[in-house]
């Protein structure tokens, strides 16, 4: 006589976890397999964007019955949760802490800029206050840049395309986002497939972001730069160069050993020849390391043949254990003057935002125990609003 215990031990496996509706490739594949038109997918995204706190998808209007059944079984509105939102004292910056379904967390930062500040061709600039969202592409980062707080975490996991898009969904509760910069946690080009899929969602309905208002920052992953223009035409590319020669670059960015400067510059030249896009060069100013006059001349000669905008970034302390100091204002201005005056390279200085909530450039990290530096900021002109 068979025992009842043998039959009870063979219980069916639990259903797979439900995915984010913003995981575009997955929801499109599931809709196709069920014979449901993909034209309904942007309607679902629009509903979640307009109702970010919705608990289920039954209230999405005008879907076929089969779509509701599929959504209940395999999807949820978002798989990440907004844990906290910290506001800077001057209200220009909001830092979002977002918990992912795997239990890890990432940070995203909303930065509010005033496009009317400064002049263009000697005339007042039009516009008003606009918001840029700095998004993360990974939990932690493999690159280990010594001046960046995220590098202290090491690499933990890649974000799905849906988790990247969901950062914009969460941020939309606080501000209407006009620009998106992939300058948060992680190296975007090391999560290439999810990056491309997320951006394709962001430039389509219902988000409708202009490709010209999306910027992807990389330390210089050459094989991905080689296919960037084909996969992401008209998207801005920013390169975290940070040094004018290979030795200094390897000293402050250990991952640069895998991407020799000569090969990187050749890849960037090919990219620019093909895309006709201006390249943004990010350059962190480290006192006595890469901020001297000879470094400015080296950088000027390196970029002479490029159509580039250099963004000089004052170093933000990342706790008491860092090895670097911020360049003096005199050195930063001198550096800018050399690039502009001698090499005719458009050069901006990144103004500081969100230091009092550790939301400034290079400060994004989860659970860094040290005290951060504090500082205020005013409404600023945004790099995405530079008219080329």
Per-residue pLDDT of the chain (388 residues; tens, 9 = 90+): 444 444 445 676 777 889 999 999 999 999 999 999 999 999 999 999 999 888 889 999 999 999 999 999 999 999 999 999 999 888 899 999 999 999 999 999 999 987 776 655 666 667 678 999 999 999 999 998 988 888 878 899 999 999 999 999 999 999 999 999 999 999 999 999 999 999 999 999 999 999 999 999 999 999 999 999 999 999 999 999 999 999 999 999 999 999 999 999 999 999 999 999 999 999 999 999 999 999 999 999 999 999 999 999 999 876 545 689 999 999 999 999 999 999 999 999 987 654 454 444 444 455 433 333 333 333 333 333 333 3
Does 66 lie in the same domain as 103?
no
Determine the Cα–Cα distance for residues 357 and 86; give it in Å rounded to an integer: 7
Pick from 283, 277, 278: which is nearest to 336 by CA? 283
Alpha helices by DSSP H, 133-180: 161-171
Determine the Cα–Cα distance for residues 155 and 12; give it in Å rounded to an integer: 35
Range of the domain at 64: 17-74
Tally of domains within the chain: 2
Does 211 lie in the same domain as 67?
no
CB atoms within 10 A of CB 8: 8
CA angle 179, 185, 187 (to 5 degrees): 90
Does 260 lie in the same domain as 204?
yes
Distances (CA, A) of 359 to 130, 183, 251, 345: 18, 12, 25, 29
The enclosing domain of 87 has a CATH number of 3.20.20.70
Strands 81-87 and 214-218, sheet pairing: unpaired
Determine the Cα–Cα distance for residues 388 and 380; give it in Å rounded to an integer: 18
Q: Of the listed 104, 107, 166, 282, which one is catalytic?
A: 107
Query: Scanning the structure block, which residue is given the tokens 């504090």?
Result: 374
CA atoms within 13 A on the CB side of 330: 1
Within a domain: 366: no
Q: Give me 174's structure tokens.
A: 């606080």
Does 212 lie in the same domain as 348?
yes
Within a domain: 124: yes
Pick from 284, 301, 298: which is nearest to 344 by CA? 301
Within a domain: 385: no
Cross-strand bridge partners of residue 281: 239, 310
Q: Of the listed 134, 141, 148, 361, which one is catalytic?
A: 361
Our answer to whether residue 187 is catalytic in this structure is: no
* Cα 73 to chain centroid, rounded: 31
Does 40 lie in the same domain as 108?
no
Our answer to whether residue 361 is catalytic in this structure is: yes
């Amino acid at each position: 006589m068979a025992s009842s215990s043998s039959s009870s031990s063979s219980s069916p496996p639990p259903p797979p976890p439900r995915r984010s509706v913003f995981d575009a490739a997955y929801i499109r594949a599931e809709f196709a397999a069920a014979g449901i038109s993909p034209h309904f997918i942007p309607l679902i995204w629009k509903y979640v964007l307009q109702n970010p706190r919705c608990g289920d998808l039954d209230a999405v209007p005008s879907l076929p019955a089969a779509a509701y059944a599929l959504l209940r079984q395999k999807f949820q509105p978002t798989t990440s949760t907004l844990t906290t939102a910290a506001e800077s004292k001057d209200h220009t910056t909001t830092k979002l802490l977002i918990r992912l379904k795997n239990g890890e967390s990432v940070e995203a930062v909303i930065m509010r800029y005033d496009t009317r500040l400064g002049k263009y061709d000697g005339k007042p600039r039009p516009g008003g206050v606009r918001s840029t969202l700095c998004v993360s592409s990974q939990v932690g980062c493999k690159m280990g840049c010594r001046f960046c707080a995220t590098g202290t975490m090491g690499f933990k996991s890649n974000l799905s395309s849906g988790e990247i898009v969901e950062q914009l969904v969460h941020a939309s509760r606080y501000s209407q986002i006009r620009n998106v910069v992939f300058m948060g946690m992680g190296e975007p080009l090391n999560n290439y497939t999810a990056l491309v899929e997320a951006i394709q969602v962001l430039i389509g309905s219902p988000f409708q972001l202009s490709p010209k208002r999306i910027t992807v920052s990389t330390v210089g992953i050459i094989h991905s730069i080689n296919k960037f223009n084909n996969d992401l035409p008209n998207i801005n590319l920013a390169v975290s160069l940070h040094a004018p020669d290979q030795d200094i670059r390897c000293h402050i960015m250990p991952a640069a050993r895998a991407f020799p400067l000569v090969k990187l510059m050749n890849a960037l030249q090919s990219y620019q020849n093909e895309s006709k896009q201006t390249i943004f060069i990010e350059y962190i100013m480290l006192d006595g390391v890469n901020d001297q006059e000879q470094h400015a001349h080296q950088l000027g000669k390196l970029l002479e043949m490029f159509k580039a905008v250099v963004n000089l970034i004052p170093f933000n302390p990342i706790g008491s254990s860092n090895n670097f100091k911020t360049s003096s204002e005199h050195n930063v201005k001198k550096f800018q003057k050399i690039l502009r005056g001698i090499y005719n390279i458009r050069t901006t200085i990144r103004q500081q935002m969100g230091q009092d909530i550790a939301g400034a450039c290079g400060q994004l990290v989860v659970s860094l125990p040290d005290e951060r530096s504090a500082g205020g900021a005013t409404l600023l002109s945004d790099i995405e609003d530079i008219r080329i």
